[in-house]
Amino acid sequence: MERTTMQTATDNITYSDRINALTHKTIGAIRGRFFVPDYQRGYRWDKNDVTRMLDDIWGSKGQDYSLQPIVVKLHQMGKSEAEHEWELIDGQQRLTTLYLILHYMQQQGWKKMGAPYFLCYKTRPGSQTYLDKLDKSSHNDNIDYWHLYRAHRRIAAWFRRHGDAFAQEDAANTLHSYLFKSVRVIWYEAPANTDATALFIRLNVGRIPLTDAELIKAALLSIVNRVHSMGRAHEIAAQWDVIEHDLHDPDIWAFVAGLSASVGDEMYPTRISLLLDTLADETAPLCGKRPRYHTFGVLGCEIERDFSVFWKKIVALHAQILGWADLPKIYNKIGFLVASGDDFSKLAHAAQGKRKSEFETFLVDRIRAHVKVKDADLAGLNYEEKRRGHPKLLQLLLLMNVETTTQCGMRFPFSRHVEQHWSLEHIHAQSAETLNKADQWKTWLIDHKSALNAVISDWSTSEIAQLTCEVDAAIADLNAGKSGSFSGEHFNALSVRVLKILNQDDAPDHSLRNMALLSSGDNSRLSNSVFEVKRQMILELDRKGSYVPVCTRNVFLKYYAQADAQQPHFWSESDKNSYFKEARNRLKPYLIEFGQNEVSIQ
């Protein structure tokens, strides 16, 4: 069983107690008298905190919305819920602010009643009285009054934003409806044997909030426990753990989340959260950032209606993911879309009711909408066009690698892809002018000396030997730290002569014909090197087990060259044309053809 924040804070409480103590209540359903114990400080929310709560509630637009937890311990049970007395262990700031909002509505005459609960303070009894008066004359008497009064004035300012008195009353009616019908707090009732002080300390060390997954699991098992035997709850808990385990498979996680394991652990402490978010988004689609506890708010209602239907959906989505993982054509397309920024939940929703062939067709259309490149424009994409050409070339080269892997009937290694930052690499560079440091010059000369020794050229052996001797002398000077003997001007002149032998084409080429995908770390070493130098380095990286994309490796192995090509050390015009032809063939299903409408992403 996983260890949650709430569990850590209540290690002495039984598992059964924990899962039965957690629920949620609308603000209008909170009843009783809550006293704030002496181990807590007073009310300290600032103006921004108050405004943020009001804006968040208003922005929920009547949809289910959950605030952070309220943790209480029952001290005395009254004849009715309204007469219960609670120790407010955690949530004083939230409950006080809600009280102030409802009190302001009553004060303005918009509502007959204020908050349906009361607040009192063990060591600050005057605060209870001031909470109802909120008069300006005594707001400086102590720091608690000052914060309460300032929050009250911020609430008044928030309502004034809505317009005149009529508009403010209308806003109050709307907000009041939200508070009583759709805005809830996560309610945790600590068992009677809980050490409240210790629990308060643990909850507030680091202020680590509960996750949606932890809350959903507790709510689910709580309901299952009430209507079934404990055996059914244990069965679901075991299935939950199996799903979580499967989502920790790097290949599964990378293609559904587009994240490495380390980043995934930070964003999704429990991986099943991705599935829960997917189901929540199907019921209540989101625009923009996901509010805290949105998923719990949505799915908590489904669990209460019929937990078995909810759980069947989770199990079915898990099975669907594993099924896609066994189908490289679908696995690779989904993985590419997620890596390109698409939302997995939207893809999962789109798959519903579709046969495999229909879903594949949908994915092809979806990729075409993401790529948004016309067939006729492919050759003209330029590395130096940072707004369009550069990002499109990056995207297309990833797609080419994915499609090449698919054609071999294999899954693309997204788990290795997501561990790197990727950049465009010129297959053949024509200049070393950007190098301006002695250590850069030395590395460049050492690398290109090896290329001079390997290359087959029209230049004479004696000319190459003479140039090699000069390169050796320059490297020796740099090793000896003789910066005066070897300047930037000297390096540039020597590099031009080296490049004359190693280059067949002096014109810079920033098109797809001269681009490959490489990790940013490897690219930094290769960026100013000619083809032969890069070829040797790529092969060395591959031999060491570094991840080199399949098409990048193919380029430097001359896989795309014509059968009668004789020169393995140059990236010739013929090589460029053959490479572009292969790229276009792989990408063609995803390019917009002449007369075809551009597809938009819904």
Give residue-wise pLDDT tens across range 399-408. Answer: 999 999 999 9
The reported pTM is: 0.63
- The phi, psi pair for 356, rounded to 5°, reads -55, -45
What is the bridge-based pairing of β-strands 85-90 and 32-36?
parallel
137 versus 281: the higher-pLDDT residue is 281
pLDDT at 217: 81
How many whole angstroms separate alpha carbon 294 and alpha carbon 262? 24
Q: Tens digits of per-residue pLDDT, 210-245?
A: 678 877 887 787 788 777 766 788 788 889 888 988
Q: Are 96 and 30 in contact (CB under 8 A)?
A: no
288 versus 366: the higher-pLDDT residue is 366
Least trusted range by pLDDT, from 7-11, 226-230, 466-470: 7-11
Q: Are 174 and 167 in contact (CB under 8 A)?
A: no
pLDDT at 14: 41
CA-wise closest residue to 56 among 216, 166, 213, 184: 184
- 566, pLDDT greater than 90: no
Place of tokens 């693309």: 412
318 versus 265: the higher-pLDDT residue is 318
Place of tokens 């087990």: 545
- The phi, psi pair for 34, rounded to 5°, reads -115, 120
- 91, pLDDT greater than 70: yes
How many whole angstroms separate alpha carbon 361 and alpha carbon 586? 16
Q: Is 260 helix (H, G, I), strand (E, B) or coil?
A: coil
Beta strands in 52-168, from DSSP E residues, in sequence order: 65-76, 85-90, 117-121
Beta strands in 206-359, from DSSP E residues, in sequence order: none
Angle, CA of 353, 277 and 219, to the nearest 5°: 110
How many whole angstroms separate alpha carbon 254 and alpha carbon 532? 34
How many whole angstroms separate alpha carbon 242 and alpha carbon 73? 34
- The phi, psi pair for 186, rounded to 5°, reads -80, 120
pLDDT at 7: 39
pLDDT at 225: 74
Q: Tens digits of per-residue pLDDT, 167-222?
A: 999 999 999 999 999 888 888 887 777 777 666 666 665 454 567 887 788 778 77
Tell me what the pLDDT averaged over the chain comes to: 82
**95 pLDDT tier (thresholds 50, 70, 90):** very high
Alpha-helix runs per DSSP H in 455-509: 461-479, 488-502
